[in-house]
Structures are given as structure tokens and as C-alpha cells.
């Protein structure tokens, strides 16, 4: 019932069967026909065996005993749900015989349901109850029942979240348990959630909760070979985590987004084995014409009144930067949190992955090279460090969760500053370095020898890349103040703020990182930065100079473009991925480095001739040709949302660093912030947070609208020409200085 290797008859197979070899597929999966249906060659099978072996040291596979332990826990939880439904019903004077038949069931979704969870991973689960059980019962009597169980620890309810959830540790396994109440009298054990009519007359929270299970099952149904899909997805998930681009809450891709990208690759190469799929994954998505959406199938024509992702109808959907659309009704964009900065970072990693997998498939590198983590702390010269402190473990867990869910709004605030080219948040949360009191919060922003360190302190780091301008003075006070104020205000609103909870943001230079991080970590980062190859300027897939890779020296002011202190080198022609001489290498979402403002293309028009566009990509078992032989890529990534959509009205071009649709996601509120003054002499990057809730701009729809307007208006003046030349990392000339000083 809860086995992650569940039967393929209900969970997958699509056109080619569940596991094993799929043979020649006659059924087309996805929005377009396959690029290649070629069978794998012996060398592809060998590369797949090497790939699977290279994954073993990273604990991405669980032993059989651990899988059985998970199933035992889910069985206990399922029994607990049935007992709870029965007891609540009897307490409301329902006959006992009738109450026994009501049922109730636990469903799984996410990485565990997909069969790609790693050792020690949590389980995403859904509690489905009949119509006589209310949500208030779930967060009331059931929550109390869970806390009484001897196996349950760290049990907490997050009822105010966009998708309400109970989080707990059940016998050593972390479980996130959602709740959905169906309009049915009974919930039988063999009940299937894929029927769209189940959503009729349900509330929004139940629909959102059901969406996880429905999307996961649909993904498995739409891939031609589940075993190959799983191994390729394990690889991509590990790569994304090692490269710091795995976090939906911080604006990167989450687990379901990576799963849908890998599933789309499987549809395009239905007979390819895992090694080939990984290689083709980077080929396809390093050239994808974002913001063209990624879709696994034609959207369902169901009209139950729920809003679906459709840029022809919903204006906010036109500003999504990297849309990946879920395949189950109601279709949603799983990547609405992506910002301009996280987009640049991910595009750079796609291109690096393309180079590395090219070398692997040609025998020049081993698979371990793909999982080498790049240096973060030696990539930038300036950082903002967020220090989050609490007085006890339970408070700290809740406080860190709230702050992490809000960090993307700080990124958006920073992106509005015309002098900041990139605000790169590191998704890893660091604990306070015990040897360094500088990481202790205090009102003055520095170390206080007489101050008692907080019991619990966590840190997030944001690397800043400034434009290259002589004598640059940047004021980040308003950007940081609006962020910290909004966090406190939201904590007060949901009654989470308690004594000892504090948040502080500081500007630090690279040489000051030793006060916050372990010396051994910094040594490893320095060693990585000395050996890690620098990515050249040309970013395929439409990143242009607004993409991820720093420009070549010829594009920088004074010719000093660097990455982590190393001068950017040109890529050899054999490594080039369709450079600027091909007509389609620049995305409609960005412009060339000519000093003009970056313009994000809206998603309200689609190329109706794009159904056959993927046949221009290379065959799966051939190496990528040199730049002079690489096919034009202008049509890559142009998947139509639906027939006739090429005639959708074209809206006026606007600029945007982030999606205004983020304003109503995840139960958080978008903060409105005035554009920081650019003529200030210093930056007051330290905010005095005493736990109070200072006056902030109004939340709600008005505030969110103001945030979007500020975002669009201020970014129109942001230049991307020479200003994107990695100013934070480059060595300035004698006359060029960047003043970012703590007040």
C-alpha cells in the first residue's frame, strides 16, 4: 500500500511498461514526439553501471530493512487514522457498526512515492478522511492523539501554512502529514485519488493537499520506463543538492520540479538508459528557451472552478521565469518562487553540468566529477549573513522554519537595487561556530565579550555581486529593514514570536568569514575554488548575459572579469554549446549585453510550430558536435500549452525580477520595499531586532500589489551591460571601490 516500489499498473508504465526494458514505444508521451527512440548501445549500459556504482557512497539507496521499517511506520499510522475516525464518529452519536465502516487512509507522495528517497529521508504523507471529519478535528483530537504515541517526538502543527501540515518524528523517521476531507461517506482501502471529480465541492486547502499525491502518481504514469527514470532522478537530485540549487522555499527547484524535468527527458528519449538520460537532461535544459513552460502532457480540460496556470487568463502567470507545470488538475507552476538571481545560478549549473557530462560520456571524466560541490564562499567578495537565534530547541526549529520561508523576499528586495547584479543565497543552514563570538547577536552588530551567546544560532549566507562602477556606494538599509520587519510582523500575526527569538542581517567581507564559519570548511572551499573550472560567458538556453555565467574579460569594465579571484577563460570550440552565432541561443527573457535593461518575456504567447522543434537536438548516443556543427537551437523549449495558443494576445513588455504571483503562495506575505537610495555613502546592514514588531507597510493584497509594482518599476532602470561583469568578484582598479560598510 505504501511501498515506494509500488505496482506499475497504477503508478507508471505509460507507453512502455513499468520497469525493465521498454522496447519500441508506439505511444507518444508528452507534448511532442520523442527526439530519439534508439536502443541503448553497450557503452551506454556500461556508463549506467558506473553511474549506479558512483551513487553508492552518497547514501542515495536504502537497505531492505530500512524500507521495511518505513512500511511498518506507515502501517501503524494508517491504523491510528482509522481508530481516530471511528472514535470521533462514535463521540458524535454515530452507531458503532457504521463508524467501523468509515475508514480513512494514509497515502504517500514525493520522493518516497516516486521511489527515489535517500537514506534517512523524510516521508511526505496525506491523511484522507470522510466527510464527517473536519479539519479542526485533525489539528485538535488527532494532533493530541499523535503526541500521546510513545514513538512520536517533535510533533508540531503548522495550521496557518499555505498547505496545513503536522510535522513529527515517528520512530526515527521524519513525517510531514497533510490532511484532506473528501465529500464521501466512506474511504475504502483501495480508493484511487486520480479521479478529477473527487475535487468537486472541496475546499482549497484539501485540493492543495490532494495535489501532491495526484501529481506524483501522474508523473509515474507519464514516464516510459520507471527504473531508468528513478536512477536518472536520483542522480539529478544528488547533483542539485551538491551544487546548492535544491530548495523550493529559497527560489530554486524543489523535488517535484526536478522530477518533472527528468520525466520530460524520459519522454523525449523513451528507450534511453539512465546515463544517457542524465546527459540528455543537461543538453535539453541548458538550451531550454525559458520562460517557455515545461509540460508533461496536454492540460486537462476540467472545469471545477479551481484556478489553473494559464498566462492567457492570469496576468501574474506571465511573469514566472522558469515555469514547470504539474500534470494533474488543477495545473500549477511548481517553480513560482524562482527569482532573477536563482534563475541565473541554476542556468550556470545547467551549463556546467552539460560540460561535465560531455566529458563523462567521452571517457574524459568519471561520474564523481558531476557531484563535486563548487565553492560558494570564495566566489564572492561580499556577503549578507542572516543570524537567527532562539533560547531553546523547539522554538529554534519553528523560528528557523519561518525565516527560511521568507528569505526569498530578501533576495527580491536586493534584486531591486540597481547596483546588485546577483544575490546568491546558499541553501545550506550553518550552525554557530563555537569558537567565534562574532556570530552572536547583539544590538551593535559586532562581538561583545560580555554578552552570553544565544543557546541556538543558525546562519544563512547570501553572496552579493555588484556592478562594476568606480567608487560605488550602496545602501541596503531599506532592503534589509523591510525584510526583518515583515518576518517579525508575520511571527506576531501567527503567534509564533517568543522571548529570545531574534534575527539580524550583517554585511561581511570574505576575509571576515572566519568569524562565522569553521576554518576547515573555509580551507576546503579555498581548495575547491583553486581547482574548479570557471564557466565562460556564453550561457545556452537563453541566459545571455543575464544568465548565470560571468562575462569574459572583454565584456567587463577594464577587462577584469573574474570568478572567485580567477580570470574567466574562454571555452575551447569543442566544448562550446551553440554560441551566439546561432539565432536561438538567447532567451526571449533576456537581452544581449548592450547596456539595455533586461526584459523578461511574458508567457502569454507560444509558438504553434514548436511540436516538432526537438528533432533538432542531437541523437542520444552521439556526442555533441563542435560549435561549428551544433544544430540551431532556436526552437528548443517551445512547447505549446494548448492548441491555438499562438494567437494569444501579446501584452506590453515590462521588466520584472520576480514573480508577483508569489504574493499568495505558502501562506506568506510579500513585503513591499522602496528602492534603496544609491547615493548613500555607507550601508547600514545591521538591523537592531529586539523581538518587537516595528511598524511596517500593510500586509495583504495592497502590500503585495505594491511589491510587484515596485519590482517592475525599479528593475527597468537596471543595466546589464558591463554591469553584469561579476563586480563583486573582480579585482577593482585603483580608482574603483565598492563601499558596503556596517554602520
DSSP 292: S
Please give the biggest Cα pair distance in the chain.
86
Q: Which of 22, 47, 124, 341 is catalytic?
A: 124
Q: Which of 237, 502, 599, 600 is catalytic?
A: 237
424-450 average pLDDT score: 64
539 labelled as ligand-binding? no
Angle formed by the axes of helices 340-361 and 393-415, nearest 10°: 90
- The predicted-structure confidence for 336-382, as pLDDT tens digits, reads as follows 999 999 999 999 999 999 999 999 999 999 999 999 999 999 999 99
237 given a catalytic annotation: yes
718 labelled as ligand-binding? no
Q: Which of 22, 105, 137, 176 is catalytic?
A: 176
- The predicted-structure confidence for 165-203, as pLDDT tens digits, reads as follows 999 999 999 999 999 999 999 999 889 999 999 999 899
pLDDT band at 55 (very low <50, low <70, confident <90, very high): very high
Q: Which of 33, 58, 122, 678 is catalytic?
A: 122
pLDDT at residue 482 tops 70: yes
Mean pLDDT comparison of 59-68, 332-341, 616-625, highest-scoring range: 332-341
- Please give the radius of gyration of the chain, using alpha carbons only, rounded to the nearest integer: 26
| Residue from 615, 19, 631 nearest 268 by CA | 615
Please tell me the predicted confidence (pLDDT) of residue 576: 35
- The predicted-structure confidence for 152-162, as pLDDT tens digits, reads as follows 998 989 888 88
286 labelled as ligand-binding? no
pLDDT at residue 544 tops 80: no
pLDDT at residue 607 tops 70: no
Q: Is 693 exposed, middle or buried (0-12, 13-18, 19+ CB in 10 A)?
A: middle
pLDDT band at 483 (very low <50, low <70, confident <90, very high): very high
pLDDT at residue 437 tops 80: no
pLDDT band at 604 (very low <50, low <70, confident <90, very high): very low
- The predicted-structure confidence for 231-265, as pLDDT tens digits, reads as follows 999 999 999 999 999 999 999 999 999 999 999 99
Backbone angles phi, psi at 170, to 5 degrees: -110, 105
Backbone angles phi, psi at 504, to 5 degrees: -140, 145
124 given a catalytic annotation: yes
176 given a catalytic annotation: yes
572 labelled as ligand-binding? no
pLDDT band at 645 (very low <50, low <70, confident <90, very high): very low
109 labelled as ligand-binding? yes
Please tell me the predicted confidence (pLDDT) of residue 69: 95
223 labelled as ligand-binding? no
DSSP assignment string, 305-350:
S-----TTT-GGGGG-SS-BB-SSSSP-BTTTT--HHHHHHHHHHH
Q: Which of 22, 54, 89, 111 is catalytic?
A: 111
CA distance 711 to 191: 46
561 labelled as ligand-binding? no
Please tell me the predicted confidence (pLDDT) of residue 527: 87
CA distance 696 to 672: 9
- The predicted-structure confidence for 17-32, as pLDDT tens digits, reads as follows 333 334 444 467 888 9
Q: Which of 107, 112, 138, 246 is catalytic?
A: 246
111 given a catalytic annotation: yes
237 labelled as ligand-binding? yes
Q: Which domains are delineated in the chain?
A: 64-219 (3.30.460.10), 222-370 (1.10.1410.10), 376-439+452-529 (3.30.70.590)
Please tell me the predicted confidence (pLDDT) of residue 440: 54
pLDDT band at 455 (very low <50, low <70, confident <90, very high): confident
pLDDT band at 532 (very low <50, low <70, confident <90, very high): low
Indicate the average pLDDT of the chain.
75
* CA angle at 481 for the pair 480 and 483, rounded to the nearest 5°: 65
- The predicted-structure confidence for 82-115, as pLDDT tens digits, reads as follows 999 999 999 999 999 999 999 999 999 999 999 9
Amino acid at each position: 500500500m505504501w511501498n515506494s516500489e509500488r505496482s506499475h499498473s497504477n503508478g507508471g508504465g505509460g507507453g512502455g511498461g513499468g520497469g525493465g526494458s521498454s522496447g519500441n514505444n508506439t505511444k507518444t508521451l508528452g507534448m511532442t514526439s520523442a527526439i530519439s527512440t534508439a536502443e541503448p548501445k553497450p557503452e551506454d549500459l556500461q556508463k549506467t553501471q558506473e553511474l549506479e556504482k558512483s551513487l553508492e557512497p552518497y547514501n542515495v539507496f536504502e537497505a531492505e530493512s530500512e524500507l521495511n521499517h518505513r512500511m511498518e511506520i506507515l502501517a501503524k499510522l494508517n491504523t491510528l487514522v482509522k481508530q481516530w475516525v471511528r472514535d470521533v464518529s462514535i463521540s458524535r452519536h454515530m452507531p458503532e457498526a457504521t463508524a467501523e465502516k468509515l475508514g480513512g487512509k494514509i497515502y504517500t507522495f514525493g520522493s518516497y512515492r516516486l521511489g527515489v528517497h535517500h537514506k534517512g529521508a523524510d516521508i511526505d504523507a496525506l491523511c484522507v478522511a470522510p466527510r464527517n471529519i473536519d479539519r479542526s478535528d485533525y489539528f485538535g483530537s488527532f494532533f493530541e492523539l499523535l503526541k500521546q504515541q510513545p514513538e512520536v517526538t517533535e510533533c508540531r502543527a503548522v495550521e496557518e501554512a499555505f498547505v496545513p501540515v503536522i510535522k513529527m518524528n515517528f520512530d526515527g523517521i521524519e513525517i510531514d502529514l497533510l490532511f484532506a476531507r473528501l465529500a464521501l461517506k466512506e474511504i475504502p482501502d483501495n480508493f484511487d485519488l486520480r479521479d478529477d471529480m473527487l475535487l468537486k465541492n472541496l475546499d482549497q486547502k484539501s485540493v492543495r493537499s490532494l495535489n501532491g499525491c495526484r501529481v506524483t502518481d501522474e508523473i509515474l504514469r507519464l514516464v516510459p520506463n520507471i527504473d531508468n527514470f528513478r536512477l536518472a532522478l536520483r542522480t539529478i537530485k544528488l547533483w542539485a543538492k551538491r551544487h546548492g540549487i535544491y530548495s523550493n522555499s529559497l527560489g530554486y527547484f524543489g523535488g517535484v520540479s526536478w522530477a518533472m524535468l527528468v520525466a520530460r527527458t524520459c519522454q523525449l528519449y523513451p528507450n534511453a538508459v539512465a546515463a544517457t538520460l542524465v546527459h540528455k537532461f543537461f543538453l535539453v535544459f541548458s538550451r531550454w528557451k525559458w520562460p517557455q513552460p515545461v509540460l508533461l502532457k496536454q492540460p486537462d480540460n476540467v472545469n471545477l472552478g479551481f484556478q489553473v496556470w494559464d498566462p492567457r487568463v492570469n496576468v501574474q502567470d506571465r511573469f514566472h521565469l522558469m515555469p514547470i507545470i504539474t500534470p494533474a488538475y488543477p495545473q500549477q507552476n511548481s517553480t513560482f518562487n524562482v527569482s532573477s538571481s536563482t534563475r541565473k545560478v541554476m542556468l550556470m549549473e545547467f551549463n556546467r553540468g552539460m560540460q561535465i557530462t560531455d566529458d563523462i560520456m567521452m571517457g574524459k571524466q568519471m561520474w564523481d566529477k558531476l557531484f563535486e560541490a563548487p565553492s560558494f564562499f570564495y566566489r564572492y567578495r561580499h556577503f549578507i549573513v542572516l543570524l537567527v537565534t532562539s533560547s531553546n530547541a523547539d522554538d529554534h526549529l519553528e523560528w528557523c522554519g519561518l525565516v527560511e520561508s521568507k528569505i526569498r523576499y530578501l533576495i527580491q528586495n536586493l534584486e531591486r537595487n540597481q547596483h546588485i547584479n546577483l544575490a546568491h543565497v546558499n541553501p545550506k543552514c550553518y550552525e554557530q561556530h563555537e569558537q567565534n563570538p562574532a556570530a552572536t547577536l547583539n544590538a551593535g552588530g559586532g562581538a561583545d565579550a560580555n554578552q552570553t551567546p544565544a543557546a541556538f544560532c543558525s546562519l544563512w549566507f547570501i553572496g552579493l555581486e555588484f556592478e562594476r562602477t568606480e567608487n560605488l556606494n550602496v545602501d541596503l538599509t531599506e532592503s534589509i529593514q523591510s525584510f526583518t520587519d515583515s518576518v517579525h510582523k508575520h511571527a506576531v500575526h501567527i503567534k509564533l514570536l517568543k522571548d529570545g527569538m531574534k534575527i539580524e542581517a550583517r554585511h561581511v567581507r570574505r576575509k571576515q568569514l572566519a568569524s562565522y564559519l569553521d576554518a576547515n570548511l573555509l580551507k576546503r572551499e579555498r581548495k575547491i575554488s583553486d581547482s574548479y573550472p570557471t564557466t565562460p560567458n556564453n550561457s545556452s538556453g537563453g541566459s545571455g548575459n543575464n544568465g548565470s555565467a560571468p562575462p569574459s574579460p572583454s565584456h567587463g569594465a577594464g577587462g577584469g572579469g573574474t570568478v572567485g579571484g580567477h580570470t574567466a577563460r574562454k571555452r575551447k570550440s569543442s566544448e562550446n554549446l551553440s554560441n551566439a552565432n546561432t539565432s536561438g541561443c538567447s532567451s526571449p527573457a533576456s537581452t544581449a549585453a548592450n547596456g539595455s535593461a533586461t526584459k523578461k518575456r511574458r508567457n502569454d504567447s507560444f509558438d504553434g510550430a514548436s511540436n516538432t522543434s526537438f528533432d533538432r537536438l542531437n541523437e542520444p548516443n552521439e556526442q555533441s558536435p563542435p560549435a561549428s556543427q551544433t544544430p540551431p537551437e532556436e526552437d528548443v523549449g517551445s512547447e505549446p500549452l494548448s492548441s491555438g495558443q499562438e494567437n494569444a494576445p501579446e501584452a506590453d513588455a515590462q521588466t520584472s525580477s520576480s514573480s508577483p504571483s508569489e504574493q499568495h503562495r505558502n501562506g506568506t506575505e510579500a513585503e513591499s520595499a522602496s528602492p534603496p537610495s544609491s547615493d548613500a555613502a555607507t550601508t547600514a546592514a545591521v538591523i537592531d531586532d529586539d523581538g518587537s514588531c516595528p511598524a511596517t507597510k500593510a500586509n495583504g493584497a495592497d502590500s503585495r500589489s505594491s511589491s510587484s509594482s515596485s519590482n517592475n518599476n525599479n528593475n527597468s532602470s537596471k543595466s546589464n551591460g558591463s554591469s553584469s561583469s561579476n563586480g563583486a568578484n573582480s579585482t577593482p582598479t585603483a580608482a574603483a571601490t565598492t563601499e558596503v560598510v556596517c554602520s
